[in-house]
Structure 1
């Protein structure tokens, strides 16, 4: 039997064991995360449900096929240092499992904002997978003199130079190490139509995880002005908050943005904890969405203008020629093999 077959089967088995609702290690990780108010239980359970569905639907073998991983093409013998973000529960899971699937030795710097959930998965990998090293810590100093072959980093553009300097200072990576950097900040939704179903999908894409994360929609392009849908949106958002109160978080900055919008007579919908405003500017304020009246040409213009800050363009199902898109309904339920910043994790690691 090939290395690839044995290796992949071990990882799939470990992942299924970990995702079992009765797994005591995962249960304890969820309880600690919730008790320390790092993430809400609802958001954690949503993320775990997405992962369970993906594994059950065969997304790991599909990812292997798409990436080109094989007995001849893999990352065995390489050291991979992964610096994980912590803005969403288990946001680093895809990178971690991708690196482990590649055959590389995994070294993960976990975020102190999410130190338990991903660790419980990595512990299961350590118990099950026997042919590679798996280590993690919340302290970058733990990887002093590691001399990793590649580094996967997720975070802000501004922090990239400082992170690289710190890694080089610690000799945590080789001087010629390849860096796989992820810095996208938000996504765009283009709605060619308006219906109850689309409205519900949009609100979920905007508000899940409190609107944080690069897959969260922060710009909406639609052939309707904000005034035409303002009352419907207000009702839909208030209903969502009743169902998901953990996502309603007061943000003091919003009152200043609201006052500014009033001063320049910009159309807006202010819900105290959330603001939707008619604007084509780069979205930079938390809990704020920019509403743009326009068509496909406007989507193209904004995509070019915002550049690498955009993760994904969502649509109601139609394709946009020359642009990669995803269905709006999948915004907060991505497949395991989705490409952050347009990069396939496994493919980038085994190159």
Structure 2
């Protein structure tokens, strides 16, 4: 397929994704969406719809897709077997790796996460009429395989270390846990803080692009954060999330630590980039240079940074953390370049 045909096909596929989410908003169809929700307590209807729609927006942004595809050579005629060990922390989060592999002309040897077994197969079945050659180049595996040429694997910090050892003789991209940070300014408006709430609470904070650490200026009125995050108070009615809130409230109480209580989350003064579900870390700064130094020292643990101002380099605007473009790569490792170089 030539690039213009690919761009149009991706746009048509995005429309199919949106048809699926629109149907799911009122019924328990498509069946794959329904099964995904039943199988994983964190995959609520809201989260499945949000993730699939975000992917639809990503692949239908035709100017960005055209520019993205133009950066790489035409797919090689001889396909390599790419083992894809996919994550399952948020719905269909591994789709970008699958898409890159297939658009690069390779075969996708997919090891689905046990937490996300239904959505990506549905997406690829839906893609068959637009990309019929993908059918023969897509294979699913219950466990790890030995017959492959390269691997892209995502997991926890512990499993990433195991992957590095296990796949040490193969070309590879290995990803581990990362989190995201945000910088708040005295000049930020209420609307920007409300959008920051989306970056924190979407998908219950389980994604690597979810903000778990917020930098605020010294003396900043934290009540502004409490007010801005109220639209997400509905999370207290989700048992899995509410249980985490209750647990960590008790845990910190027993340890004599007193985070601020937002009634459905805890705002804890701590500069760790990783925070548990229902806990938000914050740290005060008196100079933006402090934040820049922190970013430099912790870049291996940070997926993205959110800021309403253009003061910390390559940041996304509030409310955009969960809507990456097709040319934005996890861990800032160019997956398409890796695949083109095999």
Greater shift, 237-246 or 120-129, is seen at 237-246
TM-score, length basis structure 2 = 0.84
Uncovered stretches (5+) of structure 2, i.e. residues with no partner: none
RMSD between aligned alpha carbons? 2.9
Residues 149 and 14 (structure 1), Cα distance of their counterparts in 2 relative to 1, 3 Å cut = farther
CA distance in 2 between counterparts of 1:195 and 1:218 reads 20
2:19 to 18, 21, 25: 21
The alpha carbon displacement at 1:278 in A equals 1.7
2:181, 2:273 within 8 Å by CA — same for their partners in 1? no
Structure 2 equivalent of residue 188 of structure 1:
181
Greater shift, 285-294 or 122-131, is seen at 122-131
1:215, 1:312 within 8 Å by CA — same for their partners in 2? yes
Structure 2 equivalent of residue 348 of structure 1:
338
2:267 to 276, 282, 305: 276
2:212, 2:275 within 8 Å by CA — same for their partners in 1? no
Structure 2 equivalent of residue 171 of structure 1:
none
Structure 2 equivalent of residue 172 of structure 1:
none
1:317, 1:326 within 8 Å by CA — same for their partners in 2? no
| 1:45 to 2:37 alignment | no
CA distance in 2 between counterparts of 1:126 and 1:179 reads 27
2:87 to 85, 95, 100: 85
Greater shift, 292-301 or 281-290, is seen at 281-290
Q: Secondary structure at the match of 1:289?
A: strand
Residues 80 and 239 (structure 1), Cα distance of their counterparts in 2 relative to 1, 3 Å cut = same
Structure 1 equivalent of residue 172 of structure 2:
179
Please list, as runs of the form range in 1=range in 2, the aligned pairs for 1:155-174 lying within 5 A after superposition: 155-164=155-164
2:92, 2:116 within 8 Å by CA — same for their partners in 1? yes
Residues 242 and 273 (structure 1), Cα distance of their counterparts in 2 relative to 1, 3 Å cut = closer
Please list, as runs of the form range in 1=range in 2, the aligned pairs for 1:195-210 lying within 5 A after superposition: 195-210=189-204
CA distance in 2 between counterparts of 1:208 and 1:291 reads 18
| 1:149 to 2:163 alignment | no
CA distance in 1 between counterparts of 2:35 and 2:87 reads 19
Please list, as runs of the form range in 1=range in 2, the aligned pairs for 1:1-351 lying within 5 A after superposition: 3-5=1-3, 8-9=6-7, 12=10, 15-16=13-14, 18-21=16-19, 27-38=30-41, 39-58=43-62, 59-65=64-70, 68-71=71-74, 74=76, 76-132=78-134, 133-137=136-140, 139-141=142-144, 144-146=145-147, 148-164=148-164, 176-192=169-185, 193-225=187-219, 228-229=221-222, 231-242=223-234, 245-246=237-238, 248-251=241-244, 252-260=247-255, 262=257, 268-271=259-262, 273-294=264-285, 295-320=287-312, 323-351=313-341
